[in-house]
Amino acid sequence: MIMISFRKRILTAVFRHNCRRFSISRNTQAEKKGLVLGVYEKEKEDENLRFTDAAETFDRSLSGRLRELLSTSGPPLKKGKNRVFYGIHEEFPSVVVVGLGKNAPGICDKENWDISKENIRAAVSAGCRVLQDQEVPLVEVDPCRDAQAAAEGAVLGLFEYDEFKRKKKFVVKTQLHGDSDNAAWERGVLYGEGQNLARRLMEAPANHMTPKLFADTIEQKLASLSDKVTIYKRPQSWIEEQEMGAFLSVSRGSDEPPLFLELHYNGNPDASQPPLVLVGKGITFDSGGISLKPSTNMDAMRADMGGAATVCSSIVTAAALKLPVNIVGLAPLCENMPSGRAAKPGDVVRAKNGKTIQVDNTDAEGRLILADALCYAHNFNPKAIVNAATLTGAMDVALGSAVAGVFTNSDWLWSLLHKVSVITGDRVWRMPLFQHYTRQVTESQLADLNNVGKYSRSGGACTAAAFLKEFVTTPHWAHLDIAGVMSNKDEVPYLRKGMSGRPTRTLVELAASLSSEA
């Protein structure tokens, strides 16, 4: 008994000592930093590893040890793959080397994007996630010769919506390794945070993102920029005064009152400069109304306000960047629900411009609320109007998640949108606006227009765009149908599964491009 008791005391003391040592080790580790470095693919088998400038400098500080470890620890790193090394540097106990693909391939005309930028975003994202899983609190990131793309990859890759989970994803702070281009890094951080804001809005459950809560969220985000931004939260009485009958017809079925959000960002000191007007579809939940959707995947319709989310988030980002451009943002916000007050198939409503619409499908509601918002947009003498909407399932069928479809009456505006989407990697593709489709929505039995095409499913994205065109008189207008890019499974490697927030960065880059023209 005495021997057992003595042995027990010894084991307990050893256990406590080890626990204290482990605790000290963990605390020390928590104070350390992680590092993400880039390496390019070899172009020839016999050539040396091709590091980025930052990785080359780091390797020299280790007298070539990093190069040696990479050469002996496995096959050459391919694009998007990574390898982790521990204990090779006192300041950085964890070093992740990521594969960047071929060195500086640049813009690919076939893919319509800058391959180098996309490779950087994907690689940096993967490296940061490895360190997030290891609960490394501070990660320095190699600029990989494009600090903005590296920052976007880090910020977008680490985001995960866990608002209502008790177990949260470990929070990682990222910063630029070295000081080669801090301005570009900070710009990339703002671009990434802007898209993450759109993702957060789109992902939020519909009972936590009603029209009012949506508007309140945007107002809070812009609170510190009140000297440059004016916000109007127009109530139902104002919507009625504006004679927005199409918008009101959609909102009638819900107990949540509609709200028209109007944002004015005045970044150009010359107030006479015409603004870019961005219009976003803001259906905070879409049940389909009386034309009820199938229950399968209906929960995803909490993101049917993706157009409003991307538009408003892009304005928040433009304001944070202090872009010298004037922007007006418009977001008609409401729910589309079935009730005794809801619009019925066959009803006729009158839009703000006086045109009557036969509503043969209450699930084609986005074009109704946009019709009135587009009419109102002309009040601002716009340089251009761009609207974004998760408008049609037909767009998803046509193009999938590769690109957003663009319908436009302006070659100039199309050229700008295409150019900036190549930079952001969030691509767009031009679709037709033929009279062929216009005839299908203007041949209506009871009214001037029908809210669905004459041949129903055929060319559904095109007939929806043709419908919107009936409410546009400006020579520079573009409609972005973003239904196909609304969510991400695994198509975009630097976005986790869930709502994508696309194409927020493309809208920001459009505003930046226009500001450079001013």
Write down the domain spans for the chain. 28-180, 205-517
Q: What is the pLDDT of residue 46?
A: 55
CA angle 164, 165, 168 (to 5 degrees): 120
CATH class of 205-517: alpha beta
Q: Which is more confident, 75 or 365?
A: 365
**CA 219/CA 231 separation, integer angstroms:** 7
Q: How confident is the prediction for the chain on average, in pLDDT?
A: 93
Catalytic residue of the set 367, 469, 502, 505? 367
Task: Report DSSP state, residue 267.
Answer: -
From 127-136, 176-185, 292-301, 480-489, the region with the lowest mean pLDDT: 176-185
Average pLDDT over residues 133-160: 97
Judge if pTM exceeds 0.85. yes
Q: What is the pLDDT of residues 418-440, one digit of tens each?
A: 999 999 999 999 999 999 999 99
Is 302 among the residues known to form the active site? no
The model's pLDDT over 47-104, given as tens digits with 9 standing for 90+, comes to 678 999 999 999 999 999 999 999 999 888 999 999 999 999 999 999 999 999 988 7
Confidence of residue 239 (pLDDT cuts 50, 70, 90): very high
* pLDDT tens digits along 186-221: 999 999 999 999 999 999 999 999 999 999 999 999
Phi, psi of 17 (to 5 degrees): -65, -45
Range 28-180 classified under CATH 3.40.220.10: yes
First to last CA, the chain: 90
Which residue among 32, 65, 233, 293 is the active-site one? 293
Q: Is 293 annotated as catalytic?
A: yes
Mean pLDDT of 130-154: 97
CA angle at 295 for the pair 290 and 299, rounded to the nearest 5°: 100
Who's near 259: CB < 8 A, 6+ residues apart?
211, 212, 214, 215, 233, 234, 235, 236, 333, 334
Tell me the average pLDDT across 26-44: 76
